[in-house]
Amino acid sequence: MLHKPFSPACERNRDAILAVLREHFADRRRVLEIGSGTGQHAVHFAAALPQLVWQTSDVPDNLSGIRLWLGEARQPNTPPPLSFDINGAPPEGEFDAVFSANTLHIMGWSEVQRLFALLPGLMRPGALLTIYGPFNYGGAFTSASNAAFDASLRAAQPQRGIRDFEAVDALADGAGLSLVDDRAMPANNRCVTWRRSA
Ligand SMILES: C[S@@+](CC[C@H](N)C(=O)[O-])C[C@H]1O[C@@H](n2cnc3c(N)ncnc32)[C@H](O)[C@@H]1O
């Protein structure tokens, strides 16, 4: 029997993220979430922002768990999750916002590069990208806890690790996205939003 996956971190960070999304996604309609994980964020954000169609996606192994969360919530604005591995073909269609939480330090750097290379094909002109998670600035960790987290990530998988904000912003620039907002979040995380030029 399938067990519904559960992420305690999602329960802790969802309302702080929602406050940012309420601001930036107020006039959005179709959101693509990349690396939806359990699906908990999707259920929470789609309920609070009913004007949005919140399209979840993740690697195939995570889709059954997301389906359980979406199926239980029975919300009209959460279509079935899409299978989307950054290393494979992107989903069809264009979105007016893309959201991803806690994914850039899990993907290898070449996958982060590919993610940004795919974005122009997924985002219509004027679309927003919001990324939540930890970042380094000026080549330095922002806290001792982030340094310890980075060490644990790299010990488990050498290609993982907290990304430099400046390097990610350069990828965004290369994809035609301009920085709109870089917001401090609880527990030494950030919520960063870029806009594709119209
Ligand atoms: C730490 S989890 C975060 C999940 C969720 N967004 C959250 O905040 O709880 C990292 C997520 O990145 C996804 N991910 C990792 N590599 C990926 C790839 N190559 N393509 C798409 N998603 C990927 C994982 O499947 C997982 O759902």
Q: What are 146-155's pLDDT values in tens digits?
A: 999 999 999 9
**Ligand 1 contact via 192 beta carbon (within 6 Å):** no
**Ligand 1 contact via 113 beta carbon (within 6 Å):** no
- Residue recorded with tokens 């949005």: 52
Closest to 124 in 3D by CA, of 6, 26, 32: 32
**Ligand 1 contact via 86 beta carbon (within 6 Å):** yes
The mean predicted confidence, pLDDT, of the chain is: 97
CA 103 – ligand 1 centroid, Å: 5
For the CA of 37, the closest atom of ligand 1 is 27
Tell me which residue has its CA closest to atom 16 in ligand 1: 107
CA 177 distance to own-chain centroid: 16
3-class SS string, 102-161: CCCCCCCHHHHHHHHHHHHHHEEEEEEEEEEECEEECCECCCHHHHHHHHHHHHHCCCCC
Tens digit of each residue's pLDDT (9 = 90 or more) over 72-96: 999 999 999 999 999 999 999 999 9
**Ligand 1 contact via 87 beta carbon (within 6 Å):** yes
CA 111 – ligand 1 centroid, Å: 11
**Ligand 1 contact via 10 beta carbon (within 6 Å):** yes
In angstroms, rounded to a whole number, what is the distance separating the alpha carbons of residues 120 and 45?
Answer: 24
SS3 state of residue 62: helix
Q: What is the greatest pairwise CA distance in the chain?
A: 47
* Verdict on whether the full-model pTM lies above 0.95: yes
Split at pLDDT 50, 70, 90, the class of 123 is: very high
Tens digit of each residue's pLDDT (9 = 90 or more) over 3-19: 899 999 999 999 999 99
CA 114 – ligand 1 centroid, Å: 14
Q: How is residue 56 written in tokens?
A: 């979840």
For the CA of 107, the closest atom of ligand 1 is 16
pLDDT for 2: 76
